[in-house]
Amino acid sequence: MTEFQESNLHGTPGTPRWVGLAIAALGGLSLIGLVVGVSALSQSRSVEQSIQASLKQQNEMLAQRLAKTDDQNQLLQSDLKVVTDKLNLTKEELERARQASKVSANAYDKKLTGLATNVNSQLATKANTEDVNKLSNDVGGVKNDLEDTKSKLDRATGDMGVMSGLIARNHDDLEELKRKGDRNYFEFTITKGKSPQRVGPVQIALSKTDPKKSKYTMTVLADDKSVEKKDKTTGEPVQFYVKGTGRYSPYEIVVFDVGKNQVSGYLSTPKTAGAATAANNTTGQ
C-alpha cells in the first residue's frame, strides 16, 4: 500500500471523519429525493391522463345524448306536424259535412213544401165522396195504429173496492209506470218466512205461495198494525190504508210472479203521503 492510498483511507490530515460521512448521507438523501420526485411526477402525469380520459369519455357520452335528444325532438316535430295536418283535414271535412247537411235540409224543406201544396191542391180539386171515404179510412187506420202502439197498462178494482191506478204486469211495465211518475213505486222479491222484509215504508211477510194457481198469502205491517192478505192472485191490486192517505188513495201491492218460495212485484204509494210515510219510517229505524 502506498502513502497516497493510506492518505485516502485515513482522510486529509486535519479534516474530521464525520464530515465525509455527512456528505455521503446528503448525497444519498438527494438521490432518494430525486427518485421520489420522479415517481410523484410520473403518478401526477398518470392521474392527469386518467382525468383527461374520463372527461373525454363523459364528453362523448354527452354528445351521444345530445344527438339522441335531437333525434327525438325531430320525431316529435314530425308527429306534431302529422297531427296538425289531420286536425286541419278533420276541420275541413266537418265544414263540408255541415254544408252538405244544410243543403240537404233546404232540399227536404222544399220537398215538403211542394208535397203539402200538391196535397192541398188535390184536396181542393177532388173533394168528392170517394176522397172523403178514403180520408175516413186513413183516419181509421191511424186510430188503429195508435191503439196498437199505446201502453198495455190498464186499471183494475182493488180488493178493497177502490179503483186502482195503472197496473204493471211485469218489470218493463213497472219501469213505464216509474217514468210516468204518478205515484211512488218500490219493486220487491220477497222470500217465504216468518221474518217480515221491508219494502219502502212498510214491512211484508210472505206465508204461503201456490205457483200452480198463481196465488199467495202475505201479511202487511204498517202503522204498528198487521193486515193479512189471504189467497191473492197475480195482477190483483192488494190495497190497504196507512195514516195520512186519503180515502181514495190507498197503498197498493201488485204481485206479477209467484214462485215456489217467493213472490215478485211492487208496492205503490201516493206521491205525497207515501213520501212522508217513508221518511218517518226511515227516521224511526
pLDDT in tens, 86-132: 767 677 776 776 777 667 667 756 766 776 677 666 666 655 555 55
Domain limits for position 45: 1-150
Residue 219 bridge partners (DSSP): 205, 228
The confidence score (pLDDT) of residue 78 equals 79
How many independent structural domains does the chain possess?
2
CATH code of residue 213: 2.60.98
pLDDT in tens, 48-93: 777 778 788 887 888 888 788 877 878 888 777 777 777 676 777 7
The continuous run of DSSP H or E covering 275 comes out as helix 271-284
Q: Do 174 and 266 have their domain in common?
A: yes
Q: Do 146 and 158 have their domain in common?
A: no
- Dig out the grid coordinates for 242 from the structure: 196507512
Q: Do 8 and 131 have their domain in common?
A: yes
CA distances from 185 to 129, 147, 267 (A): 52, 26, 6
pTM of the model: 0.45
